[in-house]
């Protein structure tokens, strides 16, 4: 799968934990929001991103986003006069997380360090002292 720059940046931005829509939106210009929405749909559809919606720590879904749900979310927020790059007050927020499959599309230097690798590096540093 060939990724656009925006899709790559989205996977990279969501690789270490949940990233909320408003944070992703803060990285693009207002006129690029439809492109961001298309990228999120495509990445979820290709199983590169998991998603959830709501407060707290809801379960992550590997299911496709309901058709039109992100467009509706954006429309509701814009109708309320909200700035998309700020946390929403009129509806629940979407959150995204790069899946293991999505990680495979990142360049080696951009892939997150696993817990095991971090521990090994920590042990090597402490043994070297």
What is the tens place of the pLDDT at every residue in 6-36? 999 999 999 988 899 999 999 999 999 999 9
Digit-coded pLDDT (tens) for 50-99: 999 987 666 677 788 999 999 999 999 999 999 999 999 999 999 999 99
Secondary structure class of 97 (helix, strand, coil): strand
Name the DSSP class of 50: E
Q: What is the pLDDT of residue 17?
A: 85
Name the DSSP class of 66: P
Please give the Cα distance from 91 to 96 (Å, whole number): 16
Q: What is the pLDDT of residue 61?
A: 78
Q: What share of the chain has pLDDT > 90, as a percent?
A: 69
The residue ranges of every structural domain in the chain are: 5-127
Identify whether the C-beta of residue 58 lies closer than 8 Å to the C-beta of residue 50. no
The runs of H, that is alpha helices, within the chain are: 5-13, 21-25, 33-45, 69-79, 100-103, 115-127
Q: Please return the burial class of 23, using the count of CB atoms within 10 Å of its CB with bins 0-12, 13-18 and 19+.
A: middle
Digit-coded pLDDT (tens) for 42-52: 999 999 999 99
Please give the Cα distance from 52 to 20 (Å, whole number): 9
Q: What is the pLDDT of residue 117?
A: 65
């Amino acid at each position: 799968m060939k990724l656009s720059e925006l899709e790559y940046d989205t996977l990279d931005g969501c690789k270490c934990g949940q990233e909320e829509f408003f944070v992703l939106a803060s990285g693009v210009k207002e006129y690029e929001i439809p492109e961001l929405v298309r990228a999120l749909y495509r990445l979820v559809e290709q199983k590169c991103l998991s998603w959830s919606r709501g407060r707290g720590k809801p379960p992550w879904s590997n299911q496709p986003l309901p058709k039109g749900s992100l467009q509706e979310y954006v429309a509701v927020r814009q109708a309320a006069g909200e700035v998309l790059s700020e946390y929403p007050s009129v509806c629940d927020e979407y959150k995204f997380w790069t899946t293991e499959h999505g990680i495979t599309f990142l360049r080696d230097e951009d892939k997150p360090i696993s817990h095991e690798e971090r521990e090994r590096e920590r042990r090597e540093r402490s043994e070297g002292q």
